[in-house]
Chain A
């Protein structure tokens, strides 16, 4: 088991180093061989690992002492339990599929080798993130995946927008990490250790206030990485990256790190109901807020991005109300179907020759059959169509909120679910149905190569059936039992499926179908309606279209003032006051010198005479003092 754990991250790392160093000169268009192979092996090992864990094995392994400075001691070590295993499986499966998909999608790109090297680096960092056994390792690889995200978002760096988006993603994440870092320091100062087991075993001695502070600081990091309001702004922009990246990093894996972190720290969070409430509140607000923006976006990837933000909000609602396993269930299901949807959108973009604006698409249904059908499966799954993955996972989140007494979160979740169904099918109808709006692009449209369609099919399978496999019976399904050891200490009473739950389930199914029908009405039956509704909604519509002007707000309130402050400090304090003082003192002595200059007349006799006078003066002074 140790070998497997070691190989899972190290294979992609080795592949990253080799491909990165020699890809440009030697591998060129064959760069994917090594990296796909490495990830494939990691995937197999992850499957092996989850089987082992299922059998009840766990691994706690200290590899080496990383930092030892005084009382501050951190080790590099691995922890494999159910939570790790399930994360590994999601990451490696989607990662593997995305690697295969990229072979076709990135074909002919100038940075082909670079792309695969970065993807491998990401896989390494993400594996290490979930495998680590202490908070500092979590933080380290948290930053590392952020770096990969930065590199891949600004992959096409000659585009100004891509370069901006990369920097923005890194910086917004840094703001979150500021809190995360402080949280870690607070943990260290309070408990004196950073390993998960060490921290969780000494929680009893921490005061409530400190506990809440720790939780909120940690959650700030999660808000950055998982794109929760108000730190969500980077994720939609991150769509500047190549689509496989959006699928892997910005939908299925990295953005889940925040959820993973909160789930991993569940023993801490469960000690602070206030912090839990904040988590749920932020999640619920983000869920509905992002969904409302998603309703009106026209860029196919932007719709999916806001959808991701919204779904991540769902997961935080689940964690915040204490439905830990439901949150993780939704994470797994979402990882598969959102990965699928993004890959599908990439296939569409590929077919349309790089076009991302849905207003120029339409009628692609028959030209791209595989893409269409897999996309529909994904969309039905996320909309909560009965029987598919999203139906079970979303329902367990909502039911969890309802059972724990947070009916208002349940209500918000229900509204967001309705919106989700609506915008997903708005996307489908605009893209695949109706008449082609751009004849020229449509004429060239074609189904993607097999390396791209196979991953679609492979991911469509879990999107369809994973709910049935893991989620039955609701709320005490297979996944709940599997994860039970992790959340043992923090789980409430097990819920028994009753009539009330059946009612809730039916309601959420109906809501989903209602959303789909409304989208059908708007975009198939009566295509004139959207414009009318938009005009009627007026301000709200414009607000949603402009993402509630949050970017503009940040520019006006943070970025521009900070730059102005920097400029002011430089020009006024540095150059003005400090240098002014330094140069001023130089000028002062210069002035004194100039004033005394005439006394040096250059006439020897004047000097002599003053010497004489001085001598006399000294003599007189001496005489006066001594007599």
Chain B
């Protein structure tokens, strides 16, 4: 059986790749994709924990379903917003959208 540490290592790696993407990439589509990456990293961790836990079998999977639902919603809304933003400025670099500046 694969040790828990390896799953977690994968999860952490995916999570940080995702966060690096969210923080550093300029393209909004890519940022949304990176957010998905982060969510999936968490999913891996949840499933792994669930599998190794003596009492909590199955609970992690339930959470994963919630995260799926969330990710689907996020993708739908996120992409819709991205399209709306593109219509507005004909560009998709996040640096161009600073209307909320104080």
Chain A positions within 8 Å of B, measured between CB atoms, are 597-605, 608-609, 612
Contacts and interface: CB of A to CB of B under 8 A. Distances in A.
Contact of A608 (B22, B100, B101): B22
A361 B54 CA distance: 127
A603 B101 CA distance: 7
A312 B69 CA distance: 102
B22 A602 contact: no
Interface string B2-40: 000000000000000001001110000000000000000
Interface of B: 19, 22-24, 94-95, 97-102
Given A602-B100, A608-B22, 11 more contacts: A597-B102, A600-B100, A601-B102, A602-B97, A602-B98, A602-B99, A602-B101, A602-B102, A603-B94, A603-B101, A605-B94
Contacts of A597: 102
Contacts of A605: 22-24, 94
Contacts of B24: 605
A161 to B, nearest CB: 65
Nearest to A600: B102
Contact of B94 (A598, A600, A604, A609): A604
Contacts of A601: 98, 101-102
A601 B99 CA distance: 9
B95 A603 contact: yes
A597 B100 CA distance: 11
9 contacts: A601-B102, A602-B98, A602-B100, A603-B95, A603-B98, A605-B23, A608-B22, A612-B19, A612-B23
A617 B43 CA distance: 25
Contacts of A609: 23
A562 B65 CA distance: 81
Contacts of A612: 19, 23
A612 B16 CA distance: 11
Contacts of A602: 97-102
Contacts, number: 30
B43 to A, nearest CB: 20
B98 A598 contact: no
B23 A608 contact: yes
Nearest to B22: A608
Contacts of B97: 602, 604
A457 B7 CA distance: 129
A87 B97 CA distance: 94
A501 to B, nearest CB: 101
User: Of residues A597, A601, A605, A609, which shows the largest number of chain B Cβ atoms within 10 Å of its Cβ?
Assistant: A605
A387 B1 CA distance: 143
Most interface-central of B98, B99, B102 (chain A CB within 10 A) = B102
A167 B39 CA distance: 85
B23 to A, nearest CB: 5
A413 to B, nearest CB: 88
A597 B22 CA distance: 24
B67 to A, nearest CB: 19
Nearest to A609: B23
Contacts of A599: 102
10 smallest A-B Cβ distances: which pairs? A602-B101, A600-B102, A602-B98, A597-B102, A602-B100, A603-B98, A609-B23, A605-B23, A608-B23, A601-B101
A626 B29 CA distance: 40
A594 to B, nearest CB: 9
A599 B101 CA distance: 9
A355 to B, nearest CB: 80
Contacts of A598: 102
A605 B24 CA distance: 8
Nearest to B98: A602
Nearest to B24: A605
A601 B101 CA distance: 5
A612 B21 CA distance: 13
B59 to A, nearest CB: 25
A60 to B, nearest CB: 82
A602 B97 CA distance: 7
Nearest to A597: B102
B14 to A, nearest CB: 16
Contacts of B99: 602
A586 B45 CA distance: 50
A603 B99 CA distance: 9
Contacts of A603: 94-95, 98, 101
B17 to A, nearest CB: 14
B92 to A, nearest CB: 13
Contacts of B101: 600-603
A601 B102 CA distance: 6
Nearest to B100: A602
Contacts of A600: 100-102
Nearest to B28: A604
A604 B35 CA distance: 14
A599 B100 CA distance: 11
Contacts of B19: 612
A623 B27 CA distance: 35
Nearest to A604: B94
A349 B23 CA distance: 102
B25 to A, nearest CB: 9
A312 to B, nearest CB: 78
B38 to A, nearest CB: 11
Residue of B24, B99, B101 ringed by the most chain A CB atoms within 10 A: B101
A467 to B, nearest CB: 96
B12 to A, nearest CB: 14
A608 B22 CA distance: 8
Nearest to B19: A612
Nearest to B101: A602
A601 B94 CA distance: 13
B100 to A, nearest CB: 4
A362 to B, nearest CB: 90
Nearest to A594: B102
Nearest to B99: A602
A517 to B, nearest CB: 99
A603 B98 CA distance: 5
Nearest to A603: B98
A608 to B, nearest CB: 6
A603 B94 CA distance: 8
B19 to A, nearest CB: 7
Contacts of B22: 605, 608
A76 to B, nearest CB: 71
A58 to B, nearest CB: 88
Most buried by B among A600, A602, A608: A602
B91 to A, nearest CB: 15
A149 to B, nearest CB: 68
Nearest to A611: B23
A602 B24 CA distance: 16
